[in-house]
Structure 1
Amino acid sequence: MRRRHSESRFRARRRTRTEARIADAPSSGGPPDTGPTSSSGLTPHTGGTQGTTPDARRPTVLDMARLAVLVAGLLCVVTGVLPWREAVADVGRVGPLLVFLVAVIVFAELVKEADVFDVLAARIAIVARGRYWALFALCVAFAAVITMLLNLDTTAVLLTPVLLVLAARTGIPALPLAMTTIWLANTASLLLPVSNLTNLLAEARLGLSTHGFAARMWAPQVAALAVTALLLWIFFWRRGARGAQDRYRPPSPVSVRDRVLFRTGTVVCVLFAVAVLAGAPIAEVAVASAVVLVAAFAWRDRSRLTFSLVPWQLAAFVIGLFLVVPALSRYGLDEVTRALAGDGGYRTAAAGAGLANVVNNLPAYYAGERVVPPGGRDALLTLLIGVNVGSVITPWASVATLLWFETCRRHGVRVPPSKFVITGACLAVTAVTAAVAALILTAGP
C-alpha cells in the first residue's frame, strides 16, 4: 500500500514537472525557428511567416469550387445561355481588373516574403508593451491601412498569417487577431477604388477620380470603422471574451532574412501608397511594383519565386462569376434584384448585403449595378456599402473571407461557425446602417 502511494506521488511530480516545462517553453529567450506548436495551433519563429504546408499544396474544396464556377460560366457560353458577344464584353470589362488583382497579390506576397509585414507586426506588439488595449488599437489601424491601400485580399490572405504567427510568439489568443483581419478586410474597403474589386468595377460608372471617390466615401468609411472597432472589442478583445490574461509578453524584434529585400519591399510599399493616393492608374502601379520586387527576388533569392505566387484560381473564379451572373440576369435575376433594391438608400444597401451573403459580394454588386438607373450615383455608392461592409456573415460572402477561412485552417485556428455568423450579422446590420447614414448626411445639395 505504501509502495503504491509512493509510486503515485512520483508520477504526479513527474507530470507536474512536464507540464511546467511545456508552460514555460514559449517564454525562454526567444522562440526557435522550428519546434512544437503553441496552444493556438501555430509554430513560432523569428523571421518570416510560415509557408504553406504540404496539405495546403493539394487541391482543397475551395479550389474545386472556384474552378467549378469557371466551368459553369464556360458552359453558359458554350450552350448559348449567355451569347458570345455579351460574354466577350463582360470578360473584357473585368480583364483590366484581373491584371490589377493578380499584380497586387504578387506584389503583396513578395512584400510579405521580404519580412516587411512581420517586422511591422512585431513592432506593433513591442510598442503596445503588453497592454491589450494598445495592441488592439494598433492592430485595427494596421489592418485598416493595409486594406485601404493594398486591397482587402492582401489583409485576408497575407496579413492574417503574420498576425497568427505573432499570436504564437507572444501567447496572445489567435481568434481576436484573426477576426480583426477579416472584419477590417471587408469593412475598411470603402475609402479608395483600390481597396476592393467592387470599387474598381464601380469607378468607371461613377465617373469619380480617386480623390473624388475618397471625398464621397470618407464619412461612411469612418462610420464603418468605428462600429467595427467597437464590436471587435466587445465580442473578441475585452478580457471576458479573450480569456483571463491581463497582459501579454512582448516579442523580440524580428530577424530579417535579407536586408536588401526588406529595404526594397519597404520602399516599393511606400511608393505604391503614394502613387495610389496621387491618383495614378492603379493597374499600372501594381504591375510596376510587382515587376520591381520580382526583379529584386530574382537577384537575391530566386527560390521564393514560384508559380504559386500567381493567384490563378482566384482569377478563374472571378472570370467564372462574370459569365454566370450575366447568364442568370437574362433569366430573372435582374427582376429579383430590382424588387429587392427598391429606391431607398437603406433598402439598396440591405439588398446588396443580403445578396452578398447569399451568393458573394462580386456577383451581388454586378447584379445590383445592372438595375441601378443611369445617374444614380448615390444608389451605386449605397450598393457598394452593402456589398463591401455587409459581406461579413457567411463564409462565402466575399472572396477574401473564403481565403481567410482557408488560411485559418492551415494554421490550426478554429473559428466557431455560430459565433462567426451571429457576430457578423450584428456587425453587418450596425455598420451598414451607420455607413449609409454617414453617406446621406455628407451628400451635397
Structure 2
Amino acid sequence: MAGGLLILVAVILLSSGLLPVASAVDVAERTWSILLFVVAATVVAELAAAAGVFDAVADRLGKAAAGRVVVLWLLVVALAVVATVFLSLDTTAVLLTPVVVLMARGRGLNALPFALTTIWLANTGSLLFPMSNLTNLLAAHTLGLDAWEFAALMAPAAIVGVLVPVAVIGVWQRRAVSGPLAPAESQPLEDRTLTLGAGIIVAALLPALVSGLPVWLPACVAALLLGVLVAVRKPAALSWSLFPWQIVVLAVGLFLVVETAHAHGLSDGAAPFVGQRTSFLALLRLAASGALLANGIDNLPAYLALEPLALDPLRMAALLVGVNAGALVTPWASLAILLWHERLTGLGVRLRWPIYMAASLVVAVVTVTLAVAALSLAHP
C-alpha cells in the first residue's frame, strides 16, 4: 500500500517536471542490480526455508549444545550473524526467528532472549558486507568498494555491532540463557534429498557472494537452481509470494521521492545538522542523526536523505552505523522489525513494546557510540 502510493507520487513528480528525467535515469542505473540482488536473495532464503535448511541447522545446533542452554544460545548467535552477514537482515528477522523460537519452546525455554537475538543482530549485525543490508549495497556502490574493501572499512563497527547486543542479552536474560538444556526429539527431515541439495546450494552461494563477482549474479544462479530443485521435489512451495514485491516497490518509490527532494535542496538543508568533518564527535553526530532519522521515518529513507553528506568513506561508515545499528528503537525503524513482530504474533509470543523499546534504546545508544569510536580508532 505505502509502496504503491510512493510510486504514484513519483510518477506525478516525474510527469510534472519536479523530478528531472535525467535524475530518474541515474537512479535506475544505480539501483537495478541492487534490487535484483534483493529479489534473488529473498527467493533463495524463502526456498531454503521451504526446503527445511534452517530447521535442519537448528536441529544440529540443539545436538551440539552439550546439554547447556548458554551454548545453544551462543550457537544461535553465530547462526544469526552468518545469516545476516551473507543473506541479509530480513532473512534473520523473518525466516530464522520462527525457527529458533520454536526450537526454544520445544526444549521448554523462554523464547524471548532467542527472539531478541535474531532482531537485534539482524540490525546491528548487518554492517560487515554489502549484501547484509540494502543500505550497505547502496553505500558500496556509491563508494566503488568490493565486498572485501567494504568489510575492511566496516569490520571494527561490525564487531561492536555483534558484541553489544550479545552482552546486553547475556546480562539481562542471564537466567533464561543459563542452566541445563532439556533434550528434545530430533525432527526427521521431510525430504532429505531436498534439504541436502538446498543446503549445498546455499553453502556454495556464501563464498560466491564475496568472490568479487557482482552479488546479483551468484544470487540469481542460486535462486534458479533452488527453484528447479524445489519444483521437482516440492512444487507446492513455489508461488509468486516468494518474490518481495512490496519491498521492491517501496524501495523504488523511496528512491525517486528522495531523489526529488535532493534535486530541490535536501542536502543543503540537512548539512548544518550533520556537519562535514571526520573527527570522532563529527562522526558520532552524523551517526546519531542517521539513527534519529531512521527511528523517526525508517532506515532506508534516512540513509537516502543523508548519503550525499557522507561521501567520504569514514563518514559513510558512520552513517551506516547510525541507520543500521541505530534503527532498533521504534517498530518502524526498519522493515525487519515490523516483519519480525508479525512472525512473533503468529507464533503467539507476547511482546511489550515499552519494554522492547527501552531495552533497544540502550542497545542502540551503546552500539552506535562504541562502533563510531571503533571506526575512529581503526581509521584515524
Q: Can you list the C-alpha shifts for 1:215-245, whole angstroms capped at 9, x where unaligned?
A: 122121112211111112233x211xx49x8
Which of residues 162, 166, 184 in structure 2 aligns to 1:251?
184
1:187-336 → structure 2 map (5 Å cutoff):
187-235=124-172, 237-239=173-175, 242=176, 246-331=179-264, 333-336=266-269
Structure 2 distance, partners of 1:275, 1:71, is 37
Question: Gaps (5+ residues) in structure 1?
Answer: 1-63
Q: Deviations over 1:132-155 (max 9, x none)?
A: 221221111110111011111111
Distance (whole Å) between structure 2 residues aligned to residue 314 and residue 200 of structure 1: 15
Is the 1:129–1:250 contact (alpha carbons within 8 Å) kept by the matching residues of 2? no
Q: Are the equivalent residues in 2 in contact too, given 1:220–1:439 (CA < 8 A)?
A: yes
**Alignment pair present for 1:351 and 2:289:** yes
Displacement after TM superposition at 1:332 (Å): 5.2
Moved more, 426-435 or 160-169: 160-169
Partner residue, 1:366: 304
Between the two proteins, the alignment pairs up a number of residues equal to 375
Q: State the Cα distance separating 1:335 from its structure 2 match.
A: 3.4
How far the C-alpha of 1:73 sits from its partner, in A, is: 3.2
Q: Measured at CA, do residues 299 and 168 of structure 1 come closer, stay the same or move farther in structure 2, by a change above 3 Å?
A: same
Distance in structure 2 (CA, Å) of the matches to 1:389 and 1:417:
19
Residues 320, 128 of structure 1: alpha-carbon distance in 2 compared, 3 angstrom cutoff: same
Partner of 1:23: none
When the two structures are superposed, what TM-score results if normalisation uses the length of structure 1?
Answer: 0.80
Q: Which residue of 2 aligns with 1:57?
A: none
- Structure 2: give runs of 5+ residues left out of the alignment: 277-281
Q: Evaluate the alpha carbon distance shift between residue 278 and residue 401 of structure 1 in structure 2; reply closer, same or farther with a 3 A threshold.
A: same
- 8 Å CA contact retained: 1:360, 1:396: yes
Amino acid at match of 1:347: R
2:359 is the counterpart of 1:417: no
Larger CA deviation: 407-416 vs 285-294: 407-416
Counterpart Cα distance in 2 of 1:412 and 1:329:
43
Q: Residue type of the partner of 1:391?
A: A
RMSD (CA atoms): 1.9
Residue 314 of structure 2 corresponds to: 378
Aligned partner of 2:111 in structure 1 is: 174
TM-superposed deviation, 1:252: 2.0
Partner of 2:341: 405
Aligned mates of 1:178, 1:400 — CA distance in 2: 13
Is the contact made by 2:131 and 2:137 (CA closer than 8 Å) also made in structure 1?
Answer: yes
Q: Distance in 2 between matches of 1:326 and 1:406?
A: 31
CA distance in 2, matches of 1:153, 1:75: 31
1:135 matches 2:68: no
Equivalents in 2 of 1:314, 1:172: separation in Å? 33
Amino acid at match of 1:142: L
Contact preservation (8 Å) 1:341, 1:348 = yes
State how far apart, in whole Å, the 1-side matches of 2:68 and 2:11 are.
Answer: 53
Deviation at 1:130, TM superposition (A): 4.1
Structure 1 residue 410: Cα displacement: 2.0
Aligned to 1:337: 270
Residues 91 and 323 in structure 1, CA contact (< 8 A), matched pair in contact too:
no
Counterpart residue identity of residue 431, structure 1: T
Higher gyration radius (CA)? 1
* Counterpart Cα distance in 2 of 1:286 and 1:142: 20
Evaluate the alpha carbon distance shift between residue 415 and residue 81 of structure 1 in structure 2; reply closer, same or farther with a 3 A threshold: farther
Note if contact 1:91-1:322 (Cα within 8 Å) is conserved in structure 2: no
Structure 1, 170-179 or 293-302: larger mean CA deviation: 170-179
User: Helix, strand or coil: the match of 2:190?
Assistant: coil
**Corresponding residue number in structure 2 for 1:41:** none
Higher mean alpha-carbon deviation, 66-75 vs 116-125, is at 66-75
Give the C-alpha shift of residue 331 in structure 1: 4.7
CA distance in 2, matches of 1:187, 1:249: 30
Q: Are residues 384 and 256 of structure 1, via their aligned partners in 2, closer, same or farther at CA, if it must alter by over 3 Å? A: same
Q: Which amino acid aligns with 2:325?
A: V
Structure 1 residue 274, shift from structure 2 partner: 1.4
Give the whole-Å Cα distance in 2 for the aligned partners of 1:319 and 1:93.
Answer: 11
Q: Is the 8 A contact 1:74 1:320 kept in 2?
A: no
Deviation of the 1:399 alpha carbon: 1.9
Verify: 1:149 aligned to 2:86, yes or no.
yes
Post-superposition shift, 1:177? 1.3
**How many Å separate the matches in 2 of 1:406 and 1:72?**
28
User: Structure 1's 117 and 83: CA in aligned 2 closer, same or farther, altered over 3 A?
Assistant: same
CA distance in 1, matches of 2:141, 2:47: 30
CA distance in 1, matches of 2:159, 2:294: 22
Task: Check conservation: 1:190, 1:388, Cα contact below 8 A.
Answer: yes
Pair 251,73 (structure 1): closer, same or farther in 2 beyond 3 Å: farther
Question: Is 1:92 matched with 2:25?
Answer: no
How far does residue 201 in structure 1 lie from its aligned partner after superposition?
A: 0.4
Deviations 1:170-229 (Å, cap 9, x if unpaired)?
Answer: 222222211111100011111111111111101122222211111122121112211111
